[in-house]
Amino acid sequence: MQSRESLAGDHASPSRGTGILENTAPNVEGNVSTCNTNKNTMQYEKGRLYHIQSRNLDLAVFDGDRGMIGIREKFGERYLFTEYLDDGGPFGTVETKPGHEPIALDAVVPENIPVLDRLKGSRDQLTGRAVDFDRPKTEGGRGWYFVDTGETGDDIWPCGIANVELFRWLEEQENMRDWMTRK
């Protein structure tokens, strides 16, 4: 198994710590967020792959806010899952303490793939058609309806839209790193 430093390549930085993320504007691409801390500052690039220490993920991409999106496995299912940087709040599960902070790797999500665990919108599980929600029928709304026809019904089973392209890209990164560690 490779050390954390060898995984990082040129992106290793000993000056990372913990803190709260604030979006910054100085970067030309606008893809860098800074995490200000008591003593240190951490910078994360939206879409960059990181080696992280968290409850459920080892590899993840930074979402540009506080999240790290990776592939989680639970009960035999693999799906995109977001864990959040530990900024002192109650929901942070990605370690950011010195020596445990995320390490940037030499891979960035291609620009044509959105850095989201789920795409916007909903689809019907049975037909795959786009659906939307008006407001509850009990309040005079239509409830769930098909976007293409406006048709409503109690047989609509809405679900989020998985980001299949990001899943495939992360899976390729996992496979490549597994192959490299076996060499």
Domain-located, residue 170:
no
Q: Which residues contact 18 (CB under 8 A, 6 or more apart)?
A: 35, 37, 40, 86, 87, 88, 96, 97, 101
Shared domain for 104 and 53, answered yes or no, is yes
Q: Are 18 and 94 in a shared domain?
A: yes
Q: Each residue of 45-104: pLDDT tens digit?
A: 999 999 999 989 999 999 998 899 999 999 999 999 999 988 777 778 888 888 888 899
Which amino acid appears at position 172 of this protein?
E
C-beta of residue 61 within 8 angstroms of C-beta of residue 48: yes
Q: How many C-beta atoms lie closer than 10 Å to residue 42's C-beta? A: 20
Does a structural domain hold residue 23? yes
Q: Are residues 69 and 9 in the same domain?
A: yes
Residue 40 has pLDDT above 90, yes or no: no
Number of independent structural domains in the chain: 2
Give the pLDDT confidence score for residue 12 in this predicted structure.
32
62 domain residue, yes or no: yes
> Are residue 93 and residue 40 in the same domain, yes or no?
yes
Residues 124 and 57 in one domain: no
Question: Contact, 56 vs 40, CB < 8 A?
Answer: no
**Domain residue limits at 35:** 4-109
Q: 130 and 101 in one domain?
A: no
> For residue 167, is it within any domain?
no
How many CB atoms within 10 Å of residue 133? Answer: 13
Q: What is the DSSP letter of 139?
A: G
Across 63-182, the runs of DSSP E, i.e. the strands, are: 67-74, 77-85, 92-94, 103-108, 118-124, 130-133, 144-146, 158-162
Q: Encode pLDDT of 93-112 as tens digits.
A: 888 888 888 899 999 999 99
Choice among 6-10, 17-21, 52-56, 72-76 with the minimum mean pLDDT: 17-21
Asked if the structure places residue 153 within a domain, the reply is: yes
Please report whether residue 80 resides in a domain.
yes
| 21 and 65 Cβ atoms separated by less than 8 Å | yes
pLDDT digits (tens, 9 = 90+) for 169-180: 999 999 988 776
CA atoms 30, 31, 32, 35: torsion sign: positive
Same domain, 17 and 105: yes
* Claim to verify: residue 63 and residue 102 sit in the same structural domain: yes
Q: Is residue 176 part of a domain?
A: no
Are 138 and 75 members of one domain? no
164: in domain:
no
Co-location of 14 and 96 in the same domain: yes
Task: Work out the pLDDT band at 8, boundaries 50, 70, 90.
Answer: very low
Question: What value does the CA radius of gyration of the chain take, rounded to a whole number of Å?
Answer: 20
Confidence tier at 30 by pLDDT (50, 70, 90): low
CA–CA separation, 40 and 35 (whole Å): 8
Are residue 101 and residue 128 in the same domain, yes or no? no
Residues 154 and 91 in one domain: no
